[in-house]
């Protein structure tokens, strides 16, 4: 039998999804699994998006332009103006989710062996995209002690080598919910200028910032037009995770032209999903106001509740809809498996994402887990009740 490729063997399993078989077994035994492991909101998708697909009058389901519908790209360029991002429709490519935008970005800007510096913990699939592109992630570790703020800029500079091609951030951050300040991003920009690097930014959670904070986009930086690449998605913005529509945005024409070759190779983004995404652009501001209010309430329920459990600590995030909690256990992966295999409380158990898979540095995150507070209030209250009870019973609890 022929052997597998190195890429296949090095491709990591998703820490968000790899415990799914345990959850399925738990469900088959009659347990109700409260899913805090995945960022799948229960918020309703805007009706305008669903109706646009339902009521379309297409006679032929054709390919779109490889860059996406021109009308949608023009609509997106108008949408970004609300956030101080000035681009035209020719400076973005519509992609099959933010995932494809990241893959295009890595493959367009980096050669195999190049390095990308990223604060950890980071979205676990960055590891997968890096393996696919043959690039290496160089982590800079942030700490739960200060809420996962940007590490000192000196820590980034110490990691720059002749192989360094880019620095990357997610803002607001998945998995920590940390919202980088304008000052922090400008510090990174100075480093990018000094060493002539790319600055990649995943900003898919920009709508969800709390305590009257405002997101500062890398696209607002001055003098870095050729260095910045922005990755975006409709998945979280409109609770449209299944649509698989994202965008790759840059003012660097050379990068855009090269990325277009990758876009042409995959032909085009999906037609129905683009119809839905374009219709969603008409979503009124009060939709986001209501959703943000709901997420703040859910965040406060979950984070405050976690911090009331003996031995647990959890910083309060200022964006996205995730938090990271530290538990009094040796290994949260084993704890999460135990929750699904051996524990139930009133017929319920909880599924979380062990955080070790969100780090590139071996051994980190073993006491931490990511929690997505994307469920309604009563489910979160039951999850907290389960976790408190579980920690009283767990054989591997630390004294």
The residue out of 238, 254, 280 marking a domain boundary is 280
The H-or-E segment that residue 382 falls in is helix 377-393
For the packed helices 253-265 and 97-109, what is the interaxial angle rounded to 10 degrees? 120
**Token pair 């494809």 in the structure block, residue:** 100
Contact predicate 369/352, CB 8 Å:
yes
pLDDT band at 13 (very low <50, low <70, confident <90, very high): confident
Q: How far is Cα 148 from Cα 319, in angstroms, rounded to an integer?
A: 12
Q: Is 242 a domain residue?
A: yes
Task: Give the Å distances, CA to CA, from 101 to 88, 231, 259, 263.
Answer: 18, 6, 9, 10
CA 31 to chain centre: 29
Strand (E) positions, 112-162? 115-120, 136-141
**255 and 325 co-located in one domain:** no
**39 and 96 co-located in one domain:** no
Q: Is 1 a domain residue?
A: no
Q: Is 61 a domain residue?
A: yes
The residue out of 250, 280, 310 marking a domain boundary is 280
Query: Which tokens sit at 92?
Result: 């973005």
**231 and 304 co-located in one domain:** no
Q: How far is Cα 114 from Cα 3, in angstroms, rounded to an integer?
A: 26
Q: Is 398 a domain residue?
A: no
Q: Is 114 a domain residue?
A: yes
**268 and 322 co-located in one domain:** no
pLDDT of residue 222: 94
Report the domain count for the chain. Answer: 2
**115 and 34 co-located in one domain:** no
Q: Is 221 a domain residue?
A: yes
Sign of CA dihedral 341, 347, 352, 354: negative
| Region 241-258 average pLDDT | 98
Mapped onto helix, strand or coil, the DSSP state of residue 63 is coil
Single pTM value for the model: 0.96
**371 and 271 co-located in one domain:** no
Q: Of the candidates 190, 179, 102, which has an alpha carbon nearest to the alpha carbon of residue 142? A: 179
pLDDT of residue 26: 96
- Owning domain of residue 178: 48-280
Percent of the chain with pLDDT strictly greater than 90: 95
**90 and 200 co-located in one domain:** yes
The pLDDT tens digits of the residues spanning 140-169 come to 999 999 999 999 999 999 999 999 999 999
pLDDT of residue 216: 96
With a cut of 90, say whether residue 189 has pLDDT above it. yes
The pLDDT tens digits of the residues spanning 350-371 come to 999 999 999 999 999 999 999 9
Q: How many CA atoms lie within 13 A of 351 on its CB side?
A: 25
With a cut of 80, say whether residue 33 has pLDDT above it. yes
| Region 205-218 average pLDDT | 94
Instruction: State residue 348 phi and psi, 5-degree precision.
Output: -115, 155
**52 and 29 co-located in one domain:** no
The residue out of 242, 257, 280 marking a domain boundary is 280
Radius of gyration of the chain (CA): 21
| Region 46-67 average pLDDT | 96
Beta strand pairing call for 92-95 and 353-354: unpaired
**127 and 261 co-located in one domain:** yes
**198 and 249 co-located in one domain:** yes
SS (H, E, C) 153-167: HHHHHCCCCCCEEEE
Query: Which tokens sit at 364?
Result: 């980190």
Q: Of the candidates 303, 337, 339, 305, which has an alpha carbon nearest to the alpha carbon of residue 322? A: 303
Sheet of strand 353-354, all strands in order from the earlier edge strand to the far edge: 322-326, 368-372, 353-354
CATH number, domain at 200? 3.40.640.10
């Amino acid at each position: 039998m022929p052997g597998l490729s190195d890429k296949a063997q090095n491709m990591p399993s998703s820490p968000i999804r790899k415990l799914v078989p345990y959850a399925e077994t738990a469900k088959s035994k009659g347990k109700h699994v409260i899913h805090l492991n995945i960022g799948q909101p229960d918020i309703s998708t805007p009706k305008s998006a669903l109706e646009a697909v339902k009521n379309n009058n297409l006679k032929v389901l054709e390919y779109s332009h490889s860059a996406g519908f021109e009308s949608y790209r023009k609509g997106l360029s108008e949408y970004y103006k609300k956030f101080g991002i000035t681009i035209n429709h020719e400076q973005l490519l519509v992609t099959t989710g933010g995932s494809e935008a990241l893959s295009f970005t890595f493959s367009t800007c980096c050669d195999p062996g190049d390095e990308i510096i990223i604060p950890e913990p980071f979205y676990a699939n960055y590891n997968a995209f890096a393996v696919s592109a043959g690039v290496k992630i160089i982590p800079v570790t942030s700490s739960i002690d200060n809420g996962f703020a940007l590490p000192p800029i000196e820590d980034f500079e110490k990691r720059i080598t002749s192989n360094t091609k880019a620095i990357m951030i997610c803002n607001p951050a998945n998995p920590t919910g940390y919202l980088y300040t304008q000052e922090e991003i400008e510090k990174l920009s100075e480093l990018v200028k000094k060493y002539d690097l790319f600055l990649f930014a995943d900003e898919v959670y920009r709508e969800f910032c709390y305590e009257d904070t405002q997101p500062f986009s890398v696209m607002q930086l001055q003098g870095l037009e050729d260095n910045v690449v922005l990755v975006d998605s409709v998945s979280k913005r409109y609770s449209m995770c299944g649509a698989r529509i994202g965008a790759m945005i840059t003012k660097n024409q050379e990068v855009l032209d090269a990325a277009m070759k990758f876009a042409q190779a995959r032909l085009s983004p999906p037609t129905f999903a683009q119809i839905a995404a374009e219709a969603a652009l008409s979503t009124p501001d009060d939709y986001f106001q209501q959703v943000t209010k709901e997420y703040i309430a859910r965040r406060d329920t979950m984070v405050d509740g976690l911090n009331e459990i003996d031995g647990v600590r959890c910083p309060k995030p200022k964006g996205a809809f995730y938090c990271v909690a530290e538990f009094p256990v040796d290994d949260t992966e084993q704890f999460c498996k135990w929750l699904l295999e051996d524990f139930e409380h009133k017929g319920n158990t909880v599924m979380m994402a062990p955080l070790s898979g969100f780090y590139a540095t071996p051994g980190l995150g073993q006491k931490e887990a990511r929690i997505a507070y994307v469920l309604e209030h009563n489910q979160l209250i039951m999850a907290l009740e389960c976790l408190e009870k579980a920690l009283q019973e767990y054989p591997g609890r630390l004294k």
